[in-house]
Structure 1
């Protein structure tokens, strides 16, 4: 979890000692091989792997997979180390690796950086039954240069071969966590999956399982309570197009909900989170307020401007002068060093907005492509990123994302619920109140990718001149527009040519221009636009006395959905978007085209009078001039799998147009 909000939870404890007295818990150093012992009264203090000399049996279906997980056991137990609340974790994995890819994925042990490893054992069992226990001193630790994630140490195991089992057990102790997440599903099949959460009866943890069975609650002894999820078999997570597969991965979320000290008062509610947002974003020290005032004067944004102009100007000034990443959240340091964390950007911009009396709310969002926001389960683990909402304009802004501008936030933060927090005045005191509500997605027309193409055939029909204008706005521009000005000049040309060549692969460039490629452009106001004139020999093929005009390829490669397997997931698009395309050409003198009707394609999904997805193509002919019009739109994020066929037809309609070839033959 790399989000700003959970990190700050560790720095601010709303309920202090009344919860678990853990606010000042020091970080425990990571020490592999330390002599620390697990307390004898822990449930799994004596957890050991079974002694064996042979691999576990697997099915023929499992043998066909790159790897299969045969044991996946995790137990978190919350207890006290003296006066300090801590978490003891025991994990046990057994993985059969069947291919080189399986070996590459599973010949490593991932150890969380946080906390202290107090026990670590690993072994391999070869197909011949050779058992090799790997001593800690022989384990190779991979460094950052090998691509290790920041929040893990990676221990590599040498000598793993196809058909081997990789097995490891480790135990660690870390600071008590009020929120947690455990993944129960992987990209390979798993068996004997067991998750346990054990805590003293003086505190109550709640859990919610997603895409799997509910956690069961039982009592281990008079002083302990256990939440448990047991699964005999978990299928591999299968990727599907037009869905956020990772968000459908089986997982369990858990949180501290009650403590004996607080009775039936629920802990860490959305209201509590709203108060924390107030402290994090709006509560500035005297020095920070002075820094905001000084910085505001330097920016020189007039308070007399219309509200939207002020917002745009403040955002542009901050994002063009402050670097995001690795910086402080303290505003004075942000202004002084010109470097900020995501939270630091939110605090600075919030301070400037307040200085200009611009009404705004702080919206804390999750990324629905990874963990969709669940309003019914108030775990703060899903509060990942900050956005601002402006009630007077009904627009959003992402303060910590320099690649976005007012009116657009990352698409994965939209079409989902979020915690929206606004300032309130209680007499002389200031506070905040939060509500969970939907963050709407932008309409399809705000994210266009439009093509205007004119084709002129050479008299000899050996080539054609193609004049092309490609307009990209909103999210359709997001992949290139913010980063284009950062590229060297030669790379900019390469990027533009690559976009044109998606329509005309063999393009010989006669001219190439770009509009709105400057830094800081707002993709909603200033669409990224490429204009090019190219020559192409490939747009026409000769077939005896006839010529084949590959008009369908001019719209570029299209997605298709010809899968035979049963659809498992609902459709979920990243964002709404549309394509308007116009292609014009003159039929050469002395030729005719008999199959112009092939240009007529229609597919709709949704209400007949107002479909939410559609592909419509057709043509008009005036004399020798033919104008092809194509309208394609996706204006709804979610679509049920029970109606998948209708969505598939729209997607495949564009792929079918891609294949349209017009036949030019002699004739009037």
Structure 2
């Protein structure tokens, strides 16, 4: 009994001490900072340390979180002062009280100037406190800390990486009556000491955003979740069975859903045909209740165009699958550009993607993606890992799943253009057919449908121009038409086709003495370049593997002949296996009075390691070079 009482007292005073310790936190009178590494000495500023501490207590007489932030920044260049001399006690909408707020300037000679409390400003409405450092010079260290008391939150995101280096990042959690789960970037080392969970990272480099990279995922950060024992509601083996064991509807009833299935008349169809019929009807006839709109009760699910809450729409799929005796799994993925699905639990606030997987056909249904048909999963999750739950299986078993990657032959953008010049060579007339299949085709089909239903023709024409010619081509579209517009064409990957006729003045033609340069490369549309991006920090990650094929038929004007088309011939290819590489190749030849140019550009992989970046960059720049290439004409002798 004595031992039990002693243990209770130890636990009580341990909890009490952490609560008091964070409230009594104070800086060192004479701080000692780590030496700035040589590679960071030319940085405009350096974060010497960034220390944060969260203490949460929940119980009969306690419901509060204390948060401490303590930071020191050395200013190396005077022009950076205004970026870092304004500090605000974090405002996350839950602050109840700023308990402490201190700031000081440490001069290069060691002199310390503490900012007086009357320099702290509090806004009248939201009562947020802030302070401005004054008289700061290059070489000064700005140090501050604040402690806030707030209502507990079930999760938090702590981003430590900045646009300047961070020499030391530290995050501490302590608790009373709750459980912390921490998910940190690999740069952090985790430890436990005397009841504290401590995450530390050293020498965090400046953040660098790159095109076609997992920028959000790569950001050095830490996510924590707070739960109250004994139930951890976000564990997958609790979360998925709780919400997806049986379909549940808010705005219609099961008998209405059964009537819906009966009227679909799918009993005699194969599994594949059933799934296509179900998905096509729902995608064609149901839309989401958007923010600001009010959901309404549904009396007849087969009654044409209607709106449903997204949750009801998802559950409708599940109910139809269950009633139709089609085996399915609820699967959860995450955009590989944002992060990875954690194997044990749903991690807030990361955005997870929920869908259905059909084991028999090895395909996916994506209720939340209006553009995407039954087949491949959304492009952002290709190649990543997710979790899977089979409601028909006993035991609440959660499995891992790897999402498939669609090949480059699935998403194809193809065009054929006929280009002719006016007699005075001032105007080019272009007749172009542009087709898109795969992910690009499905997204473009959905986007044009939205524009036609919700926007004026001017915006529609601008979208057509951007898709077919890019956004840097000064031309006027005179006529346009579409083919294969219905959603049903997604299931057999029939390309979405737009046909346009356009006129371009001067933007395509240039005179050089008695020679005429016609920028035929521009016809395929604008293309990114990596001329300035010589180095790469992260792997290259593309939305999807894809293929581009273009054909340009140029009518050589009367009285002229081709002087040269050598700039239109390019051949660049990444070394390595054909299934993973990328390449750009263009060929040209004269047939009668026409110059025929063909372009083949392919990206067989969605990921190119940074070690292959220079080869990838070579291919991308080759495509960009082509858009600047011209055929040179000269008068016939």
Query: TM (normalized to structure 2)?
Result: 0.79
Give deviations 1:473-517, integer Å, cap 9, x for gaps: 333353634642332333223332444552772313332234456
Picking from 169, 178, 187, the partner of 1:212 is 187
Could you tell me which residue of structure 2 aligns to residue 245 of structure 1?
215
Q: Does residue 182 in structure 1 map to residue 158 in structure 2? A: yes
Give deviations 1:400-430, integer Å, cap 9, x for gaps: 233433335442222210001112344xxxx
Structure 2: distance between partners of 1:334 and 1:175:
44
Change (3 A) 1:289 1:504: closer
Give deviations 1:185-220, integer Å, cap 9, x for gaps: 1233324321112357x998665542414212323x
Give deviations 1:337-357, integer Å, cap 9, x for gaps: x77665443223322332333
Could you tell me which residue of structure 2 aligns to residue 456 of structure 1?
420
Could you tell me which residue of structure 2 aligns to residue 146 of structure 1?
none
Give deviations 1:575-621, integer Å, cap 9, x for gaps: 22221111111323443324333322122225355553111211233
Structure 2: distance between partners of 1:615 and 1:131:
61
Unaligned runs of 5+ residues in structure 2 are 1-14
Could you tell me which residue of structure 1 aligns to residue 53 of structure 2?
75
Structure 2: distance between partners of 1:66 and 1:513:
54
* Residues 328 and 339, structure 1, Cα contact 8 Å, conserved in 2: no
Give deviations 1:300-336, integer Å, cap 9, x for gaps: 322334223333234325633x42558999999999x
1:465 CA displacement: 1.1
Change (3 A) 1:294 1:584: same
* Residues 289 and 307, structure 2, Cα contact 8 Å, conserved in 1: yes
Q: Does residue 353 in structure 1 map to residue 353 in structure 2? A: no
Structure 1: distance between partners of 2:244 and 2:575:
42
Matches within 5 A, 1:454-603: 454-477=418-441, 478=443, 480-481=447-448, 483-485=450-452, 486-500=454-468, 502=470, 505-515=473-483, 522=490, 525=493, 527-538=495-506, 539-563=508-532, 565-603=534-572
Picking from 250, 254, 277, the partner of 2:240 is 277
Structure 2: distance between partners of 1:318 and 1:120:
57
1:454 CA displacement: 0.8
Could you tell me which residue of structure 2 aligns to residue 26 of structure 1?
none
Could you tell me which residue of structure 1 aligns to residue 200 of structure 2?
230
Structure 1: distance between partners of 2:53 and 2:63:
16
Give deviations 1:25-68, integer Å, cap 9, x for gaps: xxxxxxxxxxxxx9554242312356799x99999997976765
Structure 1: distance between partners of 2:491 and 2:451:
13
Structure 2: distance between partners of 1:51 and 1:482:
66
* Residues 605 and 650, structure 1, Cα contact 8 Å, conserved in 2: yes
Change (3 A) 1:529 1:621: same
Picking from 335, 352, 359, the partner of 1:367 is 335
* Residues 584 and 599, structure 2, Cα contact 8 Å, conserved in 1: yes
Could you tell me which residue of structure 1 aligns to residue 11 of structure 2?
none
Matches within 5 A, 1:23-34: none
Unaligned runs of 5+ residues in structure 1 are 1-37, 143-153
Could you tell me which residue of structure 2 aligns to residue 111 of structure 1?
91
Structure 1: distance between partners of 2:456 and 2:84:
36
1:436 CA displacement: 0.9
Structure 1: distance between partners of 2:420 and 2:448:
30
* Residues 334 and 340, structure 1, Cα contact 8 Å, conserved in 2: no
Change (3 A) 1:503 1:366: closer
Change (3 A) 1:497 1:615: closer
Could you tell me which residue of structure 1 aligns to residue 123 of structure 2?
139
Q: Does residue 393 in structure 1 map to residue 361 in structure 2? A: yes
Across the aligned residues of Structure 1 and Structure 2, the Cα RMSD in angstroms comes to 4.5
1:550 CA displacement: 0.8
Structure 2: distance between partners of 1:330 and 1:73:
49
Could you tell me which residue of structure 1 aligns to residue 278 of structure 2?
311
1:547 CA displacement: 0.5
Picking from 367, 378, 399, the partner of 1:435 is 399
Picking from 221, 245, 259, the partner of 1:297 is 259
